[in-house]
Structure 1
Amino acid sequence: MAGRVEGKVALVTGGAMGLGKADCEMLAAQGARVIVTDREVEQAHKVADAIGGDAMALDVTDEAQWQHVMAAVQERHGGLDILVNNAGNVIFESVEECSTANFRLHLDIHVMGTFFGCKYGIPLMKNRAETHGGGGSSIINMASTASLMGYGNIVAYTAAKGAIRSMTKSIAMHCQDNGYGIRCNALAPGGIETPMVRDISGRAGQDLMAVPDGPLDANALGSPKDVAYAVLFLASDEARFLNGLEIPVDNGLYARPHH
């Protein structure tokens, strides 16, 4: 079914590569006007040009930049229907190895970045159905199966993703209680073949592995499009009855841990 987010305005953070790029491509292919944001603004423009969208520089840890971006979105597009808080990082360190600076870096990028996105995005997203019809606006936050399980070597990452899970529920209830017509859900991807996963797997500089179509083995990495399809569903009016959820996109990893 084509046009599942036809006419909607979407903003994706970390949209220059990996999961964010796949999200931008998927939403645009299904009819959304996509604003690609990233610190790597030149690459963001390349993605935006390829999909017929817009691009803006955004360091998600910078509150002032968030205010500037959302003001520009309001001016150019008159509001926002879809917000994908995707930008992230990961440094492999245990609790004993992790520096205070690296712990705070994870919190700044994941937690504060998601907080700022929701705080400054909600005013542009509320009550859109009243003027544009449809099932309302959608915020999609990116958690991780790492926040659902135990991994001893990524303490800062798991802490940050766990905060996103909890914050998502609070934001969902706030928007629902106030009748804003905004849903807020979190996705929890497992291992996905992205530049970040490639680099931390010791394959930096190598081409990304091709992920075959069809059923995948238990230990297989997923493709960015596997997450992008979930983003598309949550962004669409088909998901109007889903709110405050955390949904693993992980080929059964959480159901059957085997790390």
Structure 2
Amino acid sequence: MKVLVSLLAAIGLISSVHAAEVKVAVAANFTAPVNKIAADFEADTGHKAVISTGPTGGFYTQIKNGAPFEVFLAADDERPALAEKEGLGVKGTVFTYAIGKLVLWSAKPGLVDDKGEILKKGNFNKLSYANPKAAPYGLAAVETLNKLGLYDTLAPKFVQGTDITQALNFVSTGNAEIGFVALSQVWQDGKLKDGSAWIVPGEYYNPIRQDAVLLTKGENNPAAKAFLEYLKGAKARAVIKSYGYEY
């Protein structure tokens, strides 16, 4: 019995030695899927992913100022490439982990029609979207409104969030009747969670290619490399797809 206990203790010690932790900065739109993926990652590998979510632009500023992140999952393809160019990211590690979709959403069932005609009718008080300088989904919202020729007309109704999470919260709490948010925030397993929505056609905005990069602070961390490889795997991709992303 003592031998068995000693053997189990040794196995546990070996596992703890090989298990590691990785600090991951994640674009706010990817919050729900990354939490699921991180839990699966820990269960399958023993490594732990410590997730921080927020605006892509804000994270990049933090990374430039020395924040201890080891992996960066952005909401665009610009900043990971820039991180690599500026020596903040490891060369050759950038890849697209998801392609996001923009949606016009309301917490009220039946308010948003499936063609977005509510924007032309203007029968709402406030429209939320994320800061286009910090959040790619906010930029996509502006591009969509310009494509429709409605930006100037609807400008008095705008409520701007610091990131996509705040843009969603404005609508969820009723501070805005409708808002442009990430499809992943209101979509799961092939259907809308609640409310009403118009999935904006892809030709209305530039593709939201969400890229990942291994940051130099994680270059020697096996958990950082393992997390990025896990993100490319079938199990993680199934989770990503279930939230409405393409890849």
- TM-score normalized by structure 1? 0.30
Point out the structure with the larger strand share.
2
- TM-score normalized by structure 2? 0.31
Bigger CA radius of gyration? 2
